[in-house]
């Protein structure tokens, strides 16, 4: 096929990704400068739509709350790896950003007094860990759906330009600037080059590399791979969140809101085992703690079912009316995917790969930054990132539920505004490099013309199974070293991958194969980072190093991709100093 | 040996085919609870990588994978294979232009969504805090705000097929979502658009949309509400 034609588009800002972060950034930017959004899917198909339980903000609608408590919870939740300046910024901005969203039309559930409904959620407490607090602002259990629709509606109202069903292939750099992005038009086929003053990545997460996952098919971490290929690092990828309650057998998310509303976990003896692991808040401990507790129960033969390989989530003691009112989506999911009427029976659940704490390193302005142990962080001109693909780092080693929807709103908005400032300070676009986009174009041509003997799905199957077995909730040097070798082998096999579909129009074979190439690339960074980190912190648990080691490991991992395809690790300090308040010093983490 | 189910799939590749055709695939049932989407993925990954369809969340909330399955519009990701009578005939959503295989062009559908001004319209300045809304007022949005824009309803509607200008059940349901929102001040501008022979009055209560909606919403009822308001306004 003739594929040499490249259409060039010039915008001030291009945002890649149209979930909550991308749309919020687009709203902020499009009012000021010429902005376009490039998205693999129609915006409402983005994975934000699957978020259920709520978005954190200390509105104090139900009971007194304080942003400083929220900050403490988030720092503690991060197992002290979170950057405290960014966390302070996030928590202080939360109430304002939620009110703004309400003014945009977000259909929040309501309290009797007409204010936004708030519920309890894991890890969120009052008075520095005393007891659970109602902080999660919710639209029933469809908060993400309501949010992404509201933001998309506002974008339509404000005339934002969308390039829907475009797949990003390569970041373009010149003179030290990011100057745009190359993309493939999925529907018609063909290359499009977006020449920009600023590019903002909001490309989402990646847990499709695991067998059991809450994530959508599109969550393949493409933005991370493109960032690494452009020579930039990715940060803290070894921290992958396993959500405690995925539906057994399929992995779909059952929101923590279920436990926030009074649901709880039991083992095969009917015991509420969480009281042994988290004596104060029980089932509302943070996700890493609950997932590990569940995995421990299963390991020690206290799992449920014929194979003893799941845990039961009970909600059948709650008023059915409350379930239908507050958790209608959960009822539906449990019914469709587990054949369970949760008003009558418990739901079988297992920990399921859910969220990437790590990502493209940024500061609290959404600017992508470079740095190391010896050199302070400095922004990459023209490059911004927000949402799950970014690492500000507000989640550190473990994210609290409801902080991701907050993250996408805050850093989407701030990143968009900062990109606008940068555009306005730059009189002209930095020119495109010579042969701009050549690597991305060659990659597509190579795949389409390939005559190898490997099939994409066989490689992907093995990736999913082995990442789950060797780089899951529990890890050891042995499993990680094994996985490193497996990845080397899979990368070799990937070089011989052959497509069935050689066409241009809606070539899903091409897209999935490109995605697989991306996943193999950053999976190496996850495994290498995990192998090097000889401690246990947050979601990264090493059976052979079960303690947190602040002396050696209170630092962020940076993973670079070398020319030869190997990973080079570097590190940078945690930003322990908040903006205005004293540092929360690392201490033992008990819930 | 594992049980197999025949999928009879609509195929059309505009780069090769003069006209569409159906192709049979034998999908292996490997675990209980397999969805139609699992079957389509099995075909794509193991039998024929050229098959094109849309999918994302695989749990019925993103609205990517509305398809016509055994004659009824539904989402492939939340439809159990075991609930369907084989052979399972899978076609793109009716009445929209086909891009390739099961992928349709949603441009017209989304344009109609945009036409009804599907966003909160307010003229009075917002308060410092949230706009207040009682639980009862908020309840009026239940059954409306959950729409996932999958197009199952509109493309099941004979009036939508017959009248290219008809806004269709999805767009009208979405206009109701805002008209009935106690915070909204744009009802009149929306009524100007939907109080039209190609708007609410084109709905002849055929009721296909109710059966088609995978979220169990009731567009006909929503359109009925709008008609009632319009009639009340007139008299």
Give pLDDT tens digits for A349-385.
999 999 999 999 999 999 999 999 999 999 999 999 9
Residue A196 has φ and ψ, to the nearest 5°, of: -130, 165
Would you call A207 an interface residue with chain B, using a CB distance cutoff of 8 Å?
Answer: no
What pLDDT was estimated at residue A3? 62
Residues 6 or more apart whose Cβ sits within 8 Å of residue B157: B166, B168, B169, B206, B208, B209
Contact A507 B119 (CB under 8 A): no
Give pLDDT tens digits for A455-474.
999 999 999 999 999 999 99
Dig out the tokens for A355 from the structure: 């969220």
How far is residue A231 from each of residues A226, A341, A371, A490, measured CA to CA in Å? 9, 50, 13, 22
Would you call A2 an interface residue with chain B, using a CB distance cutoff of 8 Å?
Answer: no
Provide DSSP, A278-300. -TTTGGGS-HHHHHHHHHHHHHT
Would you call A503 an interface residue with chain B, using a CB distance cutoff of 8 Å?
Answer: yes
Would you call A8 an interface residue with chain B, using a CB distance cutoff of 8 Å?
Answer: no
- Average pLDDT score over residue span A219-243: 98
CATH superfamily of B107-234: Alpha-helical ferredoxin (1.10.1060.10)
Provide the residue-wise pLDDT of chain B in tens; the chain has 235 residues.
679 999 999 999 999 999 999 999 999 999 989 999 999 999 999 999 999 999 999 999 999 999 999 999 999 999 999 999 999 999 999 999 999 999 999 999 999 999 999 999 999 999 999 999 999 999 999 999 999 999 999 999 999 999 999 999 999 999 999 999 999 999 999 999 999 999 999 999 999 999 999 999 999 999 999 999 999 998 8
Select from A157, A329, A506 the Cβ nearest to the Cβ of B119.
A157
> Which chain B residues touch A305 with a CB distance below 8 Å?
none
Q: Name the DSSP letter for residue A497.
A: B
Three-state SS annotation for chain B? CCCEEEEEEEECCCCCCCCCEEEEEEEECCCCCCEHHHHHHHHHHHHCCCCCCCCCCCCCCCCCCEEEECCEEEEHHHCEHHHCCCCEEEECCCCCCEEECCEECCHHHHHHHHHCCCCCCCCCCCCCCCCCCCHHHHHCCCCCCCCCCCCCCHHHCHHHHHCCCCCHHHHHHHHHHHHCCCCCCCHHHHHHHHCCCCCHHHCCCCCHHHHHCCCCCCHHHHHHHHHHHHHHHHC
CA within 13 Å, CB half, A120: 19
Select from B14, B61, B122 the Cβ nearest to the Cβ of A49.
B61
Give pLDDT tens digits for A66-96.
999 999 999 999 999 999 999 999 999 999 9
Residue A569 reports pLDDT greater than 70: yes
Would you call B37 an interface residue with chain A, using a CB distance cutoff of 8 Å?
Answer: no
Residue A147 reports pLDDT greater than 90: yes
Contact A115 B149 (CB under 8 A): no
Catalytic residue among A287, A326, A399, A533: A287
Dig out the tokens for A537 from the structure: 């912190």
Q: How far is B119 from chain A (nearest CA, A)?
A: 5
Dig out the tokens for A270 from the structure: 């009917």
Would you call B178 an interface residue with chain A, using a CB distance cutoff of 8 Å?
Answer: yes
Q: Where do the CATH 3.10.20.30 domains begin and end in chain B?
A: 3-104
Task: Identify the residue whose tokens are 């992404």.
Answer: A148
How far is residue A247 from each of residues A404, A489, B83, B99, measured CA to CA in Å? 21, 32, 20, 34
A211 is catalytic: no
Cα separation of B93 and B105, whole Å?
10
The answer for B 81-110 residues in CB contact with A (under 8 A) is: 99-101, 103, 106, 110
List the beta strands (DSSP E) in A357-404: 360-361, 367-370, 378-385, 390-391
Beta strands A567-573 and A555-561, pairing class? antiparallel
Residue A399 has φ and ψ, to the nearest 5°, of: -90, 140
Q: Name the residue among A501, A125, A232 with its Cα closest to residue B43.
A: A501
Residue A2 reports pLDDT greater than 80: no
What is the strand order of the sheet A6-10 is part of?
A6-10, A191-195, A177-185, A166-174
List the beta strands (DSSP E) in A109-207: 118-126, 131-137, 161-164, 166-174, 177-185, 191-195, 198-201
How far is residue A338 from each of residues A106, A254, B78, measured CA to CA in Å? 30, 11, 12
Q: How far is A108 from chain B (nearest CA, A)?
A: 8
Q: Is the ipTM of this complex over 0.85?
A: yes
Dig out the tokens for A75 from the structure: 């720092």
Task: Identify the residue whose tokens are 């950053």.
Answer: A522
For CA atoms A450, A451, A452, A458, the dihedral sign is positive
Asked if A71 and A56 touch (Cβ cutoff 8 Å), the reply is no
Give pLDDT tens digits for A510-527.
999 999 999 999 999 999
> Which chain B residues touch A448 with a CB distance below 8 Å?
none
Q: Is the pTM of this model over 0.90?
A: yes
For CA atoms A7, A11, A15, A18, the dihedral sign is negative
- Average pLDDT score over residue span A4-21: 96
What pLDDT was estimated at residue B235? 83
Select from A103, A110, A508 the Cβ nearest to the Cβ of B135.
A110
> Which chain B residues touch A103 with a CB distance below 8 Å?
122, 126, 130-131
Cα separation of A310 and A447, whole Å?
41
Select from A45, A59, A98 the Cβ nearest to the Cβ of B63.
A45
Dig out the tokens for A479 from the structure: 């499993």
Closest alpha carbon within chain A to B134? A114
Select from A45, A50, A508 the Cβ nearest to the Cβ of B52.
A508
Q: Where do the CATH 1.10.1060.10 domains begin and end in chain B?
A: 107-234
What pLDDT was estimated at residue B1? 62
Rg (CA), chain B: 20
Partner residues linked to B91 by β-bridges: B68
Cα separation of A25 and A160, whole Å?
11
CA within 13 Å, CB half, B186: 18
Would you call A249 an interface residue with chain B, using a CB distance cutoff of 8 Å?
Answer: yes
Contact A49 B53 (CB under 8 A): no
- Average pLDDT score over residue span A523-533: 98
Give pLDDT tens digits for A552-567.
999 999 999 999 999 9
Q: Specify whether domain B3-104 bears CATH 2.70.98.50.
A: no
Q: Name the residue among A162, A147, A140 with its Cα closest to residue A20.
A: A147
C-alpha angle with apex A161: A155 to A164, nearest 5 degrees? 95
Cα separation of A255 and A53, whole Å?
6
The answer for A 59-98 residues in CB contact with B (under 8 A) is: 59, 98
């Amino acid at each position: 096929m003739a594929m040499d034609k490249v259409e060039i588009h010039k915008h001030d800002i291009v945002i890649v990704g149209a979930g909550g972060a991308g749309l919020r950034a687009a709203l902020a930017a499009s009012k000021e400068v010429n902005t376009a959004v490039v998205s693999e899917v129609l915006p409402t198909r983005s994975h934000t739509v699957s978020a259920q339980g709520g978005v954190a903000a200390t509105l104090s609608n139900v009971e007194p709350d304080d942003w400083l408590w929220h900050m403490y919870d988030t720092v503690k939740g991060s197992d002290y790896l979170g950057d405290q300046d960014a966390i302070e910024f996030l928590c202080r901005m939360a109430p304002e950003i939620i009110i703004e969203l309400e003014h945009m039309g977000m259909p929040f559930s309501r309290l009797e007094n007409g204010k936004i409904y708030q519920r309890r959620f894991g890890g969120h407490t009052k008075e520095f860990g005393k007891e659970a607090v109602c902080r999660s602002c919710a639209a029933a259990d469809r908060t993400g759906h309501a949010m992404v629709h509201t933001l998309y509606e506002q974008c339509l109202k404000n005339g934002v330009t969308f390039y829907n069903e475009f797949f990003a292939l390569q970041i373009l750099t010149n003179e030290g600037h990011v100057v745009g992005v190359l993309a493939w038009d999925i529907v018609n086929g063909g290359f499009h080059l977006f020449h920009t003053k600023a590019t903002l990545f909001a490309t989402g997460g990646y847990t499709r590399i695991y067998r059991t996952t809450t994530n959508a098919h599109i969550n393949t971490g493409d933005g991370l791979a493109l960032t690494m290929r452009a020579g930039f690092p990715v940060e803290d990828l070894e921290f992958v969140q396993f959500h405690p309650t995925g539906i057994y057998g399929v992995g779909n998310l059952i929101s923590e809101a279920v436990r926030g509303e009074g649901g709880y976990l039991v083992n095969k003896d009917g015991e509420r085992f969480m009281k042994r692991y988290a004596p104060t808040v029980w089932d509302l401990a943070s996700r890493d703690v609950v997932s590990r507790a569940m995995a421990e129960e299963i390991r020690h033969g206290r799992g449920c079912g014929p194979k003893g390989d799941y845990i039961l989530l009970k909600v059948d003691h709650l008023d059915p009316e409350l379930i239908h009112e507050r958790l209608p989506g959960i009822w539906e999911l449990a019914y469709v995917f587990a054949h369970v009427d949760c008003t009558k029976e418990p739901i079988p659940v297992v920990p399921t790969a859910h969220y990437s704490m790590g990502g493209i390193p940024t500061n609290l302005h959404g600017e992508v930054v470079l740095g190391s142990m010896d050199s302070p962080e400095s922004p990459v001109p023209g490059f911004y990132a927000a949402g799950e693909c970014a690492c500000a780092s507000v989640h550190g080693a473990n994210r609290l539920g409801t902080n991701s929807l907050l993250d996408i709103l805050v850093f989407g908005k701030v990143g968009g505004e900062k990109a606008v400032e940068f555009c306005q300070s730059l009189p002209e676009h930095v020119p495109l490099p010579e042969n701009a986009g050549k690597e991305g174009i060659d990659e597509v041509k190579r795949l389409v013309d390939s005559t190898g003997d490997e099939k994409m799905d066989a490689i992907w199957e093995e990736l999913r199974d082995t990442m789950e077995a060797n780089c899951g909730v529990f890890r050891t040097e042995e499993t990680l070293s094994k996985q490193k070798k497996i990845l080397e082998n899979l990368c070799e096999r990937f070089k011989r991958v052959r497509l069935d579909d050689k066409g241009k129009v809606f070539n899903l074979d091409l897209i999935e194969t490109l995605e697989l190439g991306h996943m193999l690339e950053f999976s190496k960074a996850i495994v290498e980072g995990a192998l090097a980190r000889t401690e246990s912190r947050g979601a990264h648990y090493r059976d052979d190093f079960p303690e947190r080691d602040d002396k050696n490991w209170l630092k962020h991992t940076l993973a670079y991709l070398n020319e030869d395809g190997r990973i080079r690790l570097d590190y940078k300090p945690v930003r322990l100093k908040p903006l205005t308040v004293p540092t929360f010093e690392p201490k033992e983490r008990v819930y | 040996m594992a049980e197999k189910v025949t999928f009879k799939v609509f195929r059309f590749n505009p780069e090769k085919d003069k006209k569409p055709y159906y192709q049979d695939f034998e999908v292996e049932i490997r675990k209980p609870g397999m969805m139609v989407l699992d079957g389509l993925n099995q075909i794509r990954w193991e039998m024929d990588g050229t098959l094109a369809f849309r999918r994302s969340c695989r749990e019925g909330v993103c609205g990517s994978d509305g398809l016509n399955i055994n004659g009824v519009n539904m989402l492939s990701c939340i439809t159990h294979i075991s609930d369907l009578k084989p052979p399972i005939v899978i076609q793109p959503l009716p009445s929209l232009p086909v891009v390739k295989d099961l992928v349709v062009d949603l441009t017209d559908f989304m344009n109609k969504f945009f036409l009804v001004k599907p966003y909160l319209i307010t003229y009075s300045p917002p308060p410092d805090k949230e706009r207040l809304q009682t639980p009862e007022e908020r309840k009026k949005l239940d059954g409306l705000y959950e729409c996932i824009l999958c197009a199952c309803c509109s493309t099941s509607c004979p009036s939508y097929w017959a009248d290219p200008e008809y806004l269709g059940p999805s767009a009208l349901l979405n206009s109701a979502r805002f008209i009935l929102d106690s915070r909204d001040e744009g009802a009149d501008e929306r009524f100007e658009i939907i109080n039209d022979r190609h708007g609410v009055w084109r709905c002849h209560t055929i009721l296909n949309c109710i059966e088609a909606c995978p979220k169990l919403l009731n567009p006909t009822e929503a359109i009925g509400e709008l008609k009632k308001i319009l009639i009340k306004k007139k008299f």
